[in-house]
Amino acid sequence: MNLLEVRSISKTYGSGETAVHALKDVSFSVPKGEFVAVIGESGSGKSTLLNIIGGLDTPTEGRVFIDGRDTFSMKEKNLTIFRRRNIGFIFQSFHLIPELTVEQNILFPVLLDYQKPDLRYLEELLKVLNLSSRRHHLPGQLSGGQQQRAAIGRALITRPALILADEPTGNLDTQNSSEVIALLKEASKKYEQTILMITHNRAISQAADRVLQVSDGVLTDFGRCRE
């Protein structure tokens, strides 16, 4: 079963001679548990695609289905709730709350949704992310790699249907980049987590199960990577 279905998505900014066609009839699907990388240069349309899939932007044409739900048929309030419960976001700049500890940052989406935290799962994540000894530290007391691992924990804590990672290694050195990609790959296998990651780094994309490329708004599927 496909967890994500993107059907004939187009996005145009402006009109007439000044119109910019950011995405042009993009279609693809992602099965549950697959780790997919989307590569492309700056301005290629890959970030626009990620924002549309995440419900942060609306397409000019086309539809997006996540776990069988047509996201753009929902009212704004329902889409906000659906996004909070079903999509985990990982950003290049971490976006941790500076006044909260690592543990509090990871639990924040659960508490925001007025749900009871699964403390056993929290402990498991802290161990997998190698953050158990940093659980009471503030983001400013962490390295960049540790901050991004905390951000990954925050994305995983709600057990979302889909994780969208926007250049998750963009602010990290080579070693930390490798560790973060390894964690995403492990999450995909260990928790059957479906992950869509955008990156401009072709070497990093090879860690994914499958690679897509966006160029001038057009998507090409390069197929599955070799193990």
- Structure confidence at residue 225 (pLDDT): 65
For the chain, the straight-line distance linking the first and the last C-alpha, in angstroms and rounded, comes to 22
Q: Is residue 6 part of a domain?
A: no
pLDDT mean across residues, the chain:
93
Cβ contacts of 68 within 8 Å, gap of 6 or more: none
pLDDT, tens only, 24-78: 999 999 999 999 999 998 889 999 999 999 999 999 999 999 999 999 999 999 9
- Structure confidence at residue 17 (pLDDT): 86
Q: Does residue 165 register a pLDDT over 90?
A: yes
Helix axes 102-112, 119-128, angle to 10 degrees: 140
Q: Which domain, by its residues, includes 41?
A: 34-57+66-224
How many domains does the chain divide into? 1
Q: Is residue 11 part of a domain?
A: no
- Structure confidence at residue 42 (pLDDT): 85
CA distance 112 to 104: 11
pTM tops 0.85: yes
Q: Is residue 172 part of a domain?
A: yes
Q: Is residue 148 part of a domain?
A: yes
Residue 131's pLDDT band (cuts 50, 70, 90): very high
- Structure confidence at residue 74 (pLDDT): 95
Q: Is residue 26 part of a domain?
A: no
Q: Is residue 156 part of a domain?
A: yes
Distances (CA, A) of 87 to 55, 84, 201: 9, 6, 24
Domain of residue 164, CATH code:
3.40.50.300
Q: Is residue 2 part of a domain?
A: no
Q: Is residue 28 part of a domain?
A: no
Residue 222's pLDDT band (cuts 50, 70, 90): confident
